[in-house]
Structure 1
Amino acid sequence: MKLLALDTTAEGCSAALWLEGVLFERSIRSPRGHTQHLMPMVRELVAEADIRLSDLDALAFGRGPGSFTGLRIATGVVQGLAYGLDVPVVPVSSLAAVAAQAVRRGVAQEGQGVAVAFDARMGEVYWNCYTVQHGVPRASANERVCAPQQVTLTETADYWLGAGSGFTLVNQLPAAVRETVAESYPDWYPQAADIASLAVADWSQGVQVPAWEAAPVYVRDEITWKKLPGR
């Protein structure tokens, strides 16, 4: 399995290449430099792995929710590459990627809960809850955008941790959430390495879409993705 994953959903810009179980990755914190760094990262990865882009079996990307501008960048690059290479795409939730990061870092253990929140601006957060099952974060509800005061923990777990920029608004969360979440990591954002690992697992379950169906998920219903002209 050869899979290239990209993420530009937040202030970070990252790319990761999964090559038969070996992971190559590049990452930089550059809120306004996504277009500058993304394709050079891709070229560095394929050179390091000594493969060609045409060798790829699939592409993956952080499909959101997240920064509107960032989502458009990753989606556009992945869609263009997928058309050119004629390979399918695995869209991965950016919230789930941060939950997977908690597992990768050894912070979240089996059976524990991970609440992920991104600052959605306009007084709202993107929110979802996950429990670690067999080493993988499993969503216990649908992603949503809401005021911080309206979030809830949708699953029962022995231990909860929080992650994502939404936890900079921790004082606005309901008391029940603040009292249950034992620790939080507000500086965490999605990484392509975690998107790659989740995408490989999804790929094995047949989760994939053609290039023309690769689209960002904004959660806010009034925003839509415009496909490439003529597609």
Structure 2
Amino acid sequence: MARILSLDTSTEACSVALKLNDEVIEDFRLLPRKHTQLLLPMVQEILSNAGITLKELDAIAFANGPGSFTGLRIATGVVQGLAFGADLPVVPVTTLETMALTQYREHFSRYVLSAIDARMGEVYWAAYHWNGDGFDCLAEPAVCAPDRVDLQSLSTEQRDADWVGTGSGWQLFDQFSPVVQSQLQQTFPEVLPRAGDIARLAELYWQKGVSVAAEEAIPVYLRDNVAFKKGEGPHAK
């Protein structure tokens, strides 16, 4: 069992979690544009309440994207600073897989199509299958218009599985193709990435030796042309 601190600011939610052996302690807050003020105090509080220091951890994990450009940069900067100062490895976890784990943990959904509203008429998406010991990524994270999301590259058995949709991208359900709509049993558009599930996934990766040095912990944007929506500029709080 690993001792892992995890954090996420990739969406409007700001969350920090601490995995100590079998226990996961999480602080999850929905406070858009306050990530810079909240994140470090939340980290300090959760460590203090648990009576543990950074140097006593095995690793730090974070959601490295896709998601809000500003949010990803905030989390990346904090993680790099904490990990470098405490000489800890970093475990990056994609937001889309994190939401798939939330879906599996809460509803036992084994086939999950994760989607986040990427604005500009697009969604970030990926497809996952829970294999009993982690996720198989059946469609790698990508960004495109909702009507271009498809599962046609999968096997017939996989396409015919009981799929569910999770994440804010499914607020745009009517914009997805009729084929994709028909493949879904249900959608959960209210699901956001959570630091607790980042920590749970990070432990699986850490046990397999998957981690990076602090300076190699970088965000994954997917979209090359970084464009800001209102309130998400380089000085957004």
Give me the TM-score of the superposition, normalised by structure 1.
0.92
Q: Which residue of 2 aligns with 1:229?
A: none
Matched, 1:12 2:10: no
In the alignment, the residues of structure 2 paired with residue 195 and residue 40 of structure 1 have an alpha-carbon distance, to the nearest angstrom, of: 19
The 5 Å alignment of 1:119-158 reads 119-134=117-132, 136-153=134-151, 154-155=153-154, 156=158, 157-158=160-161
In the alignment, the residues of structure 1 paired with residue 143 and residue 79 of structure 2 have an alpha-carbon distance, to the nearest angstrom, of: 25
For 1:166, the aligned partner's letter is: G
SS of residue paired to 1:221:
coil
For 2:131, the aligned partner's letter is: Q
Aligned partner of 1:210 among 203, 206, 213: 213
SS of residue paired to 1:98:
helix
| CA-atom RMSD in angstroms | 1.3
**Length, aligned pairs only:** 220
Q: Which residue of 1 aligns with 2:171?
A: 168
Aligned partner of 2:186 among 183, 186, 193: 183
Give deviations 1:53-104, integer Å, cap 9, x for gaps: 2211110000000000100010000001011111110000000000000011
In the alignment, the residues of structure 2 paired with residue 94 and residue 168 of structure 1 have an alpha-carbon distance, to the nearest angstrom, of: 17
Matched, 1:73 2:74: yes
Q: Which residue of 2 aligns with 1:31?
A: 32
SS of residue paired to 2:139:
coil
CA contact (8 A) 2:117 2:169 kept: yes
CA contact (8 A) 1:103 1:135 kept: no
In the alignment, the residues of structure 1 paired with residue 34 and residue 106 of structure 2 have an alpha-carbon distance, to the nearest angstrom, of: 26
Of all paired residues, the percent bearing the same amino acid is 48
CA contact (8 A) 2:134 2:204 kept: no
Give deviations 1:98-136, integer Å, cap 9, x for gaps: 00000111341xxx3100111111111101001111053
In the alignment, the residues of structure 1 paired with residue 108 and residue 59 of structure 2 have an alpha-carbon distance, to the nearest angstrom, of: 29
CA contact (8 A) 2:11 2:192 kept: yes
SS of residue paired to 1:220:
coil
Q: 1:40 Cα deviation (Å)? A: 1.6
Tell me, which stretches of 5 or more residues in structure 1 are unaligned? 224-231
In the alignment, the residues of structure 2 paired with residue 165 and residue 118 of structure 1 have an alpha-carbon distance, to the nearest angstrom, of: 5
SS of residue paired to 2:74:
helix
CA contact (8 A) 1:103 1:136 kept: no
For 1:4, the aligned partner's letter is: L
SS of residue paired to 2:173:
helix
The verdict on how the C-alpha distance between 1:204 and 1:135 changes in structure 2, with shifts beyond 3 A counting, is closer
For 1:201, the aligned partner's letter is: L
SS of residue paired to 2:107:
coil
SS of residue paired to 1:54:
helix
In the alignment, the residues of structure 1 paired with residue 129 and residue 101 of structure 2 have an alpha-carbon distance, to the nearest angstrom, of: 10
In the alignment, the residues of structure 2 paired with residue 53 and residue 201 of structure 1 have an alpha-carbon distance, to the nearest angstrom, of: 20
In the alignment, the residues of structure 1 paired with residue 62 and residue 28 of structure 2 have an alpha-carbon distance, to the nearest angstrom, of: 14
